[in-house]
Chain A
Amino acid sequence: MRKAVVFILTLYLGLCAAGCISFRIIPSFPLEGYVETVVLCSEVDESGELLVPTEIKSEYSSGDESVYCFIELKNVSRRIQMRWKWYSPDRAMSRDSENVVINREEQYLETLTAYDEFLLDVRDKEKLVGRWTVVILVDDKLVASREFLIQETENFEKTGLKK
């Protein structure tokens, strides 16, 4: 045991002398408003202090009512603008939430949750089918993008994806 301690200490001191190890710790960068989670879901529970996404999934049916894009940010202490853009399978923008101002009072928030709802109640359901993209911008800068699939109700039930 003593030999092992002596060996570790010698090796440690040797490495310090060789310059491989330094005691100067570079302080961690204080991350301001970093993205913790971005998910797509069928519902958002608003009963608690923070919003909670439920039924998280990335495959939907054209018969579904809506798709929610939920975001969770950490360490927010300033006023921010959030914006969601939804793009259809033919790559055209289908919805723009415009900028939503959050935390006007500039309080320190350890966790901030927000979402945007995309309604699927269009008349031409066929146009919904395909791979969609939603992007989130904070202060007009892209912070995340997610893809999701919408299938025809009939195919969707056949493949058993609805859970």
Chain B
Amino acid sequence: MKTYALAALFIVLLVSSGSAEETFFDLRGSYLAYSYDYNQIYGEKVELYSEFCVLTADYFKADIPSRLFIAIGNVVVEKEGKTYRGDEFIFNLTINKGTIVRYKDKVEIEEIGDQPETTLATQANVFNSINFTRIKKSFISFTGQHFEITKNYDVFGYEITFYIEGLESVGLKKFKMSEGIRQKKNGPYLDKIWYNRSQGIIAQAGLLFEKENKVNSLTQIYFEEHSILKNYVGLKRQVDLMTSTSLSFGKSFRAGITGNFNSSKQWNTRFALNKNWGQMGQTQVDFTYNKPINRDSEFWLGLESSIDGGKLGQAALAGRYEFQNQILANFAYSNLFLKKINFQLNSSYSKLRAGDSSDYSKILTGNARLSYESKIFNLATDYYLNHDLFGQQLLSQPQLRFGLNTFRFYDGLLSANLSNVFIYNTFSFDEFKQKTYSNNTIFSLSSQPLYVQKSLSLNFNIALEQFLEKEGRNFTSGGFILNVKQSITKGIGLEGFYSIQSRRKSENWFIEGTTSQDLSTVLRVNPVESINSWVSISYDPKNRQLRQSFADISITFFKTWNFHSLLNYDFLLKKLNNVDLYLIRDSGRFQIRLIWRSLSKQFLIELVPK
């Protein structure tokens, strides 16, 4: 256990570094506890010193993620020579504002600080879940008598005791207990220098320059040295450079330049100008240079614009031209007429080089859709067109869709749906021309759970489908699903599921088809909140044989450790197909997972941040 505690401590030590950050407030108490999992503080008999005020209270709770703290019982706040007394004091660290509450014959609320029109009294619910036990049950926690919160919301502890799973570990003189907001400052920075067996030496550095609402520039370089690795197949080293700068000229005009360079001689750069016309829309012009590996470089000029014409509709236009005569264009328009009729039009054209050859592929596609929706039914007509101008292929596809909206009867116990889709295809290629059509009708009827007895309920679903087409490959299919639930006792229930599906194909005088049946049963056992399990068995009534069985057991024990297992038995192969075992610790900010998978014979340990 000590090795375990020590190893975890070092992981925390490696990611934490004490630094001279500016103090927001200094907290002292007869007892202070901090939870790394939840980023929360609980304290007793506290004294708090900050630029805003000096405070003493019986109890103290802070929820760092929401930037709120509360002092409870015998609260005394001293600010600018004035003393405030009360029962509760809620403080918001972001806006530097506090609310003091007194519970006398009436509830008295007094605001301290800026923004007197807002009150924090309604935010006290945030603290309901914070208590001593929650902090002590955390996977990583600390106790002490002196904490410090910085302006980056990092929490430092002095002379603290470190706990893992509530077990007392080592003592620390000064330690950064939290992981505050990492803020990059203007200037160069070194993110990491690292070594691992698969990538060799890795380094990442950057340069940041930021001027609020005017300039934002970030340049990053990533380097991997592989030459020191034995048996490494690939380049000896790799360098990636990325740069991005945006400039704002007022609220509506922006310019940006980005660039990416890779040591395998692949690079691209883009310059863009963006003008915002307010509610009317926006326009963007951009120039892009792209150098792919082993291919000719490309230089693109682009224009994009969107217009919101209110009652006249919304339109978007985009066009890009490449200096080797490549073209990309797109146009979209949509509008709503008479409040219920929707019209959408989308068309695009592309002329692109086919590989390194001098040939171009030219494709024109378009889709127009007119739809109407009423309270009873919905109707839509589509026209899709794809014209390959190079290969001289043309596909046009008008469609008509009709559906009745879900209608319910017998007080909503039963509900029915009906829909129909008709598609007409015309395909032509040089002299060849083909015309086909198909029609698909689907009807479904389903029920809400019908209670036969207090503990016995059933629901069903019936579906019918008729498919017709010109070539005569018509079929009719139908299905029936019945689900029965029987509650045996509190937390224990039995479920039965029966399904029959049939598909009949008719072609002239010949009728053929298949029918499948499935019968399965599930036993659910959830006697207490911490146990959740089920076992299922499926049976094929047609062939009179058992198929598969699944079992799932989930047990929560010892704080929030959760054991979960999933088993699968195949009756046809007569063998246990798979066993998955999970041991999961949910710790607020992260999750630790120990996983065993029998199929791949893998044991995994995962630390997943949340």
Partners in one complex: yes
Residues of A within 8 A of B (CB): 8, 11-12, 15, 19-26, 28-29, 31, 34-38, 74, 85, 87, 91-93, 133, 135, 141-147
Contact of A22 among B6, B125, B171 (CB under 8 A): B171
A38 lies within 8 A of B128 (CB): yes
Chain B residue nearest to A11 (CB atoms) is: B10
Which secondary structure characterizes the binding site on chain B?
strand
The CA-CA distance from A145 to B161 in the complex, in Å, is: 30
**Residue B72 is within 8 A (CB to CB) of chain A in the complex:** yes
CB within 8 Å for A26 and B171 given contacts A35-B131, A143-B59: yes
Chain A residue nearest to B145 (CB atoms) is: A26
* Interface pick from B102-110, B237-245, B315-323, B554-562: B102-110
A23 lies within 8 A of B171 (CB): yes
Which residues on B sit within 8 Å (CB–CB) of A93? 104-106
**Residue B132 is within 8 A (CB to CB) of chain A in the complex:** yes
Which residues on A sit within 8 Å (CB–CB) of B10? 8, 11-12
Most buried by A among B6, B105, B122: B105
Contact of A92 among B18, B88, B106, B168 (CB under 8 A): B106
A142 lies within 8 A of B103 (CB): yes
> Chain B interface: which size bin?
35 or more
Return the CB mask of B140-171 against A: 1 if under 8 Å, else 0. 00011100000000000001110000001011
Return the CB mask of B58-88 against A: 1 if under 8 Å, else 0. 1100000000000011100000000000011
The CA-CA distance from A34 to B131 in the complex, in Å, is: 9
How distant is A75 from chain B, measured CB to nearest CB, in Å? 10
How distant is B419 from chain A, measured CB to nearest CB, in Å? 31
A15 lies within 8 A of B13 (CB): yes
* Interface pick from B172-180, B189-197, B461-469, B499-507: B172-180
CB within 8 Å for A20 and B105 given contacts A28-B143, A147-B124: no
Which residues on B sit within 8 Å (CB–CB) of A23? 170-171
Chain B residue nearest to A87 (CB atoms) is: B107
How distant is B569 from chain A, measured CB to nearest CB, in Å? 38
The CA-CA distance from A35 to B73 in the complex, in Å, is: 13
The CA-CA distance from A8 to B5 in the complex, in Å, is: 13
**Residue B37 is within 8 A (CB to CB) of chain A in the complex:** no
A25 lies within 8 A of B168 (CB): yes
Chain A residue nearest to B70 (CB atoms) is: A145
A21 lies within 8 A of B172 (CB): yes
Which secondary structure characterizes the binding site on chain A?
strand
B103 lies within 8 A of A26 (CB): no
B425-448 contacts to A, CB under 8 A, are none
**Residue B451 is within 8 A (CB to CB) of chain A in the complex:** no
Some 11 contacts from A to B, beta carbons below 8 A apart, are A11-B10, A15-B13, A20-B172, A21-B172, A28-B168, A31-B44, A133-B103, A142-B58, A142-B72, A143-B58, A147-B125
A85 lies within 8 A of B175 (CB): no
A28 lies within 8 A of B161 (CB): yes
Which residues on B sit within 8 Å (CB–CB) of A144? 72
Chain A residue nearest to B42 (CB atoms) is: A34
Which residues on A sit within 8 Å (CB–CB) of B31? 28-29, 31
The CA-CA distance from A21 to B171 in the complex, in Å, is: 6
Chain B residue nearest to A92 (CB atoms) is: B106
Which residues on B sit within 8 Å (CB–CB) of A145? 72, 87-88, 101, 103, 124
Contact of A91 among B88, B107, B144 (CB under 8 A): B107
A8 lies within 8 A of B6 (CB): yes
**Residue B30 is within 8 A (CB to CB) of chain A in the complex:** yes
The CA-CA distance from A74 to B108 in the complex, in Å, is: 30
How distant is A90 from chain B, measured CB to nearest CB, in Å? 9
Chain B residue nearest to A27 (CB atoms) is: B161
The CA-CA distance from A42 to B144 in the complex, in Å, is: 39
How distant is A20 from chain B, measured CB to nearest CB, in Å? 6
Chain A residue nearest to B14 (CB atoms) is: A11
B133 lies within 8 A of A36 (CB): yes
The CA-CA distance from A110 to B90 in the complex, in Å, is: 30
CB within 8 Å for A25 and B171 given contacts A91-B107, A133-B107: yes
Residues of B within 8 A of A (CB): 6-7, 10, 13, 18, 30-31, 44, 58-59, 72-74, 87-88, 101, 103-108, 122, 124-125, 128, 131-133, 143-145, 159-161, 168, 170-175
Which residues on A sit within 8 Å (CB–CB) of B30? 29
How distant is A19 from chain B, measured CB to nearest CB, in Å? 6
The CA-CA distance from A146 to B88 in the complex, in Å, is: 12
Chain B residue nearest to A20 (CB atoms) is: B173
B133 lies within 8 A of A92 (CB): no
How distant is A145 from chain B, measured CB to nearest CB, in Å? 7
Contact of A135 among B7, B87, B125 (CB under 8 A): B87
The CA-CA distance from A46 to B111 in the complex, in Å, is: 42
CB within 8 Å for A142 and B124 given contacts A92-B105, A93-B106: no
Which residues on B sit within 8 Å (CB–CB) of A24? 171
Which residues on A sit within 8 Å (CB–CB) of B87? 135, 142, 145
Which residues on B sit within 8 Å (CB–CB) of A36? 131-133
The CA-CA distance from A133 to B583 in the complex, in Å, is: 41
Chain B residue nearest to A96 (CB atoms) is: B105
The CA-CA distance from A24 to B87 in the complex, in Å, is: 36
Which residues on B sit within 8 Å (CB–CB) of A26? 143-145, 159-161, 171
The CA-CA distance from A142 to B86 in the complex, in Å, is: 10
Which residues on B sit within 8 Å (CB–CB) of A11? 10, 13
The CA-CA distance from A91 to B105 in the complex, in Å, is: 9
Q: Ordered nearest first, which 6 A-B pairs have the shortest CB separation?
A: A29-B31, A91-B107, A142-B87, A142-B73, A141-B73, A25-B171
B168 lies within 8 A of A87 (CB): no
CB within 8 Å for A34 and B132 given contacts A26-B145, A26-B160, A29-B31: yes
Which residues on B sit within 8 Å (CB–CB) of A133? 103, 107
Which residues on A sit within 8 Å (CB–CB) of B6? 8, 12
How distant is A132 from chain B, measured CB to nearest CB, in Å? 10
B44 lies within 8 A of A29 (CB): yes
Chain B residue nearest to A5 (CB atoms) is: B3
Which residues on B sit within 8 Å (CB–CB) of A74? 132-133
Beyond the given A87-B103, A147-B122, could you list 11 further A-B residue pairs with CB under 8 A, ordered by the A residue number? A20-B173, A25-B161, A26-B160, A29-B31, A31-B31, A92-B105, A93-B105, A142-B58, A143-B72, A145-B88, A145-B103
Chain B residue nearest to A37 (CB atoms) is: B131
How distant is A57 from chain B, measured CB to nearest CB, in Å? 13
Which residues on A sit within 8 Å (CB–CB) of B108? 91
Which residues on A sit within 8 Å (CB–CB) of B159? 22, 26
Which residues on A sit within 8 Å (CB–CB) of B72? 142-145
Which residues on A sit within 8 Å (CB–CB) of B172? 20-22
The CA-CA distance from A37 to B134 in the complex, in Å, is: 10
How distant is A148 from chain B, measured CB to nearest CB, in Å? 10
How distant is A117 from chain B, measured CB to nearest CB, in Å? 19
A29 lies within 8 A of B143 (CB): yes
